[in-house]
Structure 1
């Protein structure tokens, strides 16, 4: 009898502890013991977690606290709260999620999902050498233009091969965009029709579509992951999609090891890293510069590079197909400023309407509505609430970009909202930060902005994009995932004379 009583008391204590909230915890709906609010989150929106959290904020406030399992999750949905959180160094950590551990050999590796001194050291090294190789600089523009001309040729051929000039634009931008980055990382480029590279891009796309940032941030014990397929599928863990990418990167590293270039002969990021790894291992056998860390870093760059910029280009084209008058006005400006030539980065300051169109497409169609999840490294404050150490912080950038309290008619595609009264100058709003803010803002923002501008502006100058006949307008409803992607679509693509 006594053991049964003790067990009952223990269970009651566990239940109470599971549902108990810390003092001054942000308001939010309560869930069930052990699983928290996880079973009910989709009731707010069955398709998009960021929209569910936005609707929840309308009831509980811009800083909402819930538990998913035993993990406190803080949803942040207003400009003031998001900005405060992004600039709070106590919230600059990264959650120890099962997804990131699984894709990084069971360790916290890479540069996107690590924190502390490890993150600072490797981010500094990565950015220094990528900048030396042209990352975010105009010196890489010639390579960008080469990739762009190949893409234009491919699209012209596809258009000419169809009687109605219909071109399938699903995934068509990925190879071009990633080749720019891959030249810096590995010193080579891929043919647009390379079957091996296409397989890797498909695996990367399927991986990003497999889960979402909220479920993917829930820590799950390895024992459960290894023995429960249902749990793996729920959080979006598909190892079979990660392994071919890791193998491809390892083979690329092996090829570089054979050439064994010195620091003076290094021509790409992998060369620089291998030289640093050899140097550090000679001085310190416990160095963090390891082969696995190199694979994880390249995986981060590969995944983000293939997904984000190509997605932004795709959404911009969809918006312009749905807003023909905007497309025409953008083409008129491009023709007036660039003449018969393709736009360059030097033209950018003279193309305010074009710049405003690109900004508006990013505002209306977020690729990363939550950015990368943050993590409270210690107890801290946000908007007057106590955020306990270990909380996962979901920063809803989409809620800021579509805030009807700031943006007039935010659902309307209106480039003029980013221009001064006479349309001659771009206005940079403090509510517009699709790449985040602070020390954790996207490290590839400069390269992404330049690539996004050059590719989209050049395609609109070169072609007229119209809806495909007898088909509905291409959808702006994104495909869900760890990031949001544009749905595959077809369009009439007519070269402009």
Structure 2
């Protein structure tokens, strides 16, 4: 009786004890069930943010930490856990051996503002919506020649326009990045909208500026630590620029969509697609629940980002390496002239241009335009002997593959010979060379990008000579890191070859 009275009188305290015990047991059990990799000591609240650096210094720092903590280690940006994945074995495991366990993309407060439902091809979860949109985009574009030799005439046409633009600038200095942006965007522009922009045209330059303004990855320390400040920080200049670019791009897309919709409404026969936009709108009419206009906007912008930025940024880096290494530029030019003369460059010429191909591969390795690939754990899962909780942010460090001194002698040196045998034949590309990543979320436009890069690069060195302006020092080799690793602003002299 006394026991019952004691329990009745102290029921409140007893319930508090039981609930506290359950909560503590659940937290302890959760922590014990995971095996977070070690990493640099993190400060309370701030995490490792004070230790981080910017741009290329950050890439060097996380490569140094790899030597100290191993191929997989943890960092904290504020209270948020990031796991950095380095080296061939670990990167192969996360990209090709773990299925979709780590195939989600990192969430971002800023990007969520323009893509709240995580639609499109890039900033998405690896869910059924992503699978459907990616499969449709890949199948439709492949049917239009995406990555096939049948697209060669289109790429050659854009190469001719680009060379004509550079020739019109002979004797002057210029920043080549805008020209390369228009050139590469016109290829995807033709596939998506059956349209192209002339070099120097107001519409073409504006589209490229808006696409570039969307290339924001770094949220900054303040927003990372205090995401609840977004309603205030969104008015900072870079986020206003991103929002403004997104609005302008949506207006452009919506104008194109309205034109196509009216044309289809007026069509009395069977609807036939002339480009990707037509194909999507036709598919939407048969499956409106699976193909929305919101998804279309994001798919289109992702195609432009992926189809434009990788190629244009790689070509811009190529100009820097060529101008800084005139003897290598001369050697590439001589091989091209000796092999094909001034004939229009074709994909069939690849087999006779080994040094040219080696130089282009070396540009991709040294530049590594996508050094840190973001991922997120879609569920509790194992990676390299570690059990990671759902929602863990990950960074796949491709820089660690392309700049590992144990794999590449003098990794910061531009040396095409590292990809050639003693007899001058092309070396099989090593496993440590993954410019387009790997696995289910690798760049789906890798074959098209390779075709564009070869024709653009070879045509360029065949006809255009790049030199450092008189009185200037070597062009900057260190990059600016955002969503892509881009060169610092520079100008180069363009001229004709003496032969």
Tell me if both proteins adopt one fold, taking TM over 0.5 as the criterion.
Answer: yes
C-alpha deviation, 1:402, in angstroms: 0.4
Deviation of the 1:405 alpha carbon: 1.1
Change in CA separation of 1:21 and 1:313 when aligned onto 2, cut-off 3 Å: farther
The answer for the alignment partner of 2:350 in structure 1 is 348
Is 1:142 matched up with 2:170?
no
Gaps of 5+ in 1: 1-5, 282-286
Q: Distance in 2 between matches of 1:46 and 1:22?
A: 36
Q: Report SS of the residue matched to 1:265.
A: coil
Q: Does 1:258 align with 2:269?
A: no
TM-score (norm: length of structure 2): 0.87
Larger deviation, residues 234-243 vs 352-361:
234-243
Q: Secondary structure at the match of 1:493?
A: strand
**1:325 maps onto 2:327 in alignment:** yes
Determine the C-alpha separation between the residues in 1 that align with 2:330 and 2:291: 51
**Paired position in structure 2 for 1:451:** 452
Task: Indicate if the aligned counterparts of 2:175 and 2:490 stay in contact, CA closer than 8 A.
Answer: yes
**How many residues end up aligned between the 2 structures?**
473
Alignment of 1:306-455 (within 5 A): 306-371=308-373, 373-455=374-456
Q: Confirm or deny that 1:68 pairs with 2:68.
A: no
Give the Cα separation in 1 of the matches to 2:372 and 2:223. Answer: 12
Q: Distance in 2 between matches of 1:454 and 1:213?
A: 36
The match for 1:81 is: 90
Separation in structure 2 between the aligned mates of residue 69 and residue 273 of structure 1, nearest angstrom: 41
Q: CA deviation at 1:197?
A: 2.8
Query: What's 1:297 paired with?
Result: 299
Say yes or no: does 1:156 pair with 2:167: yes
Map Cα deviations across residues 148-200 of structure 1 (whole Å, 9 max, x no partner). 111111111111xx4xx434424221111101111100111112222133122
Once residues 439 and 102 of structure 1 are traced to their aligned partners in structure 2, the CA distance between those partners, rounded to angstroms, is: 26
Query: Which blocks of at least 5 consecutive residues in structure 2 are unaligned?
Result: 1-15
Report what 2:282 is aligned to: 275
1:449 positional shift: 0.9
Q: 1:249 aligns with which of 250, 253, 275?
A: 253
User: Aligned residue for 1:284?
Assistant: none
Counterpart Cα distance in 2 of 1:28 and 1:231: 34
Separation in 1 of the partners of 2:347 and 2:92? Answer: 30
Offset of residue 38 of structure 1: 5.0
CA contact (8 A) 2:39 2:75 kept: yes
Specify the SS of the correspondent of 2:134.
helix
Partner SS for 1:238 = helix
Change (3 A) 1:86 1:215: farther
> For residues 274 and 41 of structure 1, what CA distance do their matches in structure 2 show?
49
**What displacement does 1:211 show?**
3.9
The answer as to whether partners of 1:212 and 1:236 remain within 8 angstroms in 2 is: no
Larger Rg: 2
Q: Aligned in 2, Cα 1:252/1:197: closer, same or farther, shift over 3 Å?
A: same
Q: CA deviation at 1:146?
A: 1.3
Q: Is the CA contact (8 Å cut-off) linking 1:169 and 1:488 kept in structure 2?
A: no
On the 8 A contact 1:379/1:386 being kept in 2, the answer is: yes
**1:110 and 2:120 correspond:** yes
